[in-house]
Amino acid sequence: MKKILYSLLLIIPIFWISCDTIEDDQKLVYPKGQTRETTPITVTSSKQRVLLEDFTGWRCTNCPAAAEKATELITKYGDSLVVMAVHATSFAKPSAENNNVDFRTEYGGQWATYFGCTSLPAGMINRTKIGNAYKVNDASWDISIQNSLSTKEHIMDINLGAVHRVADNMILVSCENEFLKNYASPTLISILVLESGIIGVQKSNDNPLIEDYEFNHVLRKNGLVDYFLSIMPISKGQKINKNYLIDIDSDIKDIKKCSVVVFVTDAETKEVIQVNTIEL
């Protein structure tokens, strides 16, 4: 996926509208993935959820303990919490020692740098900036999730449908975005694929090299990141329906162990407004 600076996001639609006056080789490519095709909505929700992004890597000896903490928090908060394991930085760089398995993604690496999550383990809770930092240490994940669930305004719901199309090996995702309150800022939507139950090599403090470690919630390639949901103010009760096609990452081991995560962010603050997930 092409790198797009956050600062340019707000002007992309203007350039796209004026493409008829630009040479073909200078035109911006309309975001790949949007489609008119639909699939039935099967996951509906009317509750505020929290997104925990766990930045991790197989070389990080403290990361298994953080992953265990994330699992404990899923048990504690149930479907109010969505966990996404983002393998990034030099801690995730593959080598012969881990059989050259590479869980990194281009956007995961960009996030680690942009949000200051390069010293692992690290996490973000709804991409909320606390003081001058987005990064939250795993020891503080629980209290940060509690604070978010108790204080975050329930602005919108995301209802989802998803299907794996075997014929062309793509995932069709339908998103119904319903706003419960007026919202003035531009909004972005991201549609990502996670895979669980992957067995591989991990270093830890307890074991120099675990060869049968189970990786869960692993962020995969080919996701659709920071697509515009709306550039205009949104009124209470408004529904915005969008449909997307995702090419399945060839590195995915088992599509049946995958899920799709969809989250909407404020284009100006980067904070996650709402998140939801659907199993494939």
Strand 198-202 and strand 239-247: pairing?
Answer: unpaired
Q: Give dist(CA 213, CA 28) in Å, integer.
A: 42
- Residue showing tokens 């030099």: 90
Residue pair 137/66 in contact by the 8 Å Cβ criterion: no
Report residue 121 as tokens.
Answer: 């383990």
Identify the helix (H) or strand (E) that includes residue 146: helix 141-151
Residue that wins the pLDDT comparison between 263 and 15: 263
Residue type, 58: W
120 to each of 179, 195, 239, how far by Cα in Å? 35, 21, 38
Report residue 258 as tokens.
Answer: 């995958």
Q: What is the pLDDT of residues 132-150, one digit of tens each?
A: 999 999 999 999 999 999 9
Task: Look at residue 28 and tell me whether its pLDDT is greater than 60.
Answer: no
Q: What is the pLDDT of residues 37-57, one digit of tens each?
A: 999 999 998 999 999 999 999
CATH code of the domain made up of 6-16+30-279: 2.60.40.10
The distance from CA 176 to its chain's CA centroid, rounded to whole angstroms, is 17
Per-position DSSP letters for 179-230, written without gaps between them: ESS-B-S-EEEEEEEEE--EEEEE--SS-S-EEEEEE-SEE-SS-EEEEEEE
Report residue 83 as tokens.
Answer: 């966990």
DSSP lists the bridge partners of residue 52 as 83, 125
Predicted pLDDT at 243: 97
- Residue showing tokens 């604070």: 147
Q: What is the pLDDT of residues 178-198, one digit of tens each?
A: 999 999 999 999 999 999 999
Give the pTM: 0.87
Summary mean pLDDT of the chain: 90
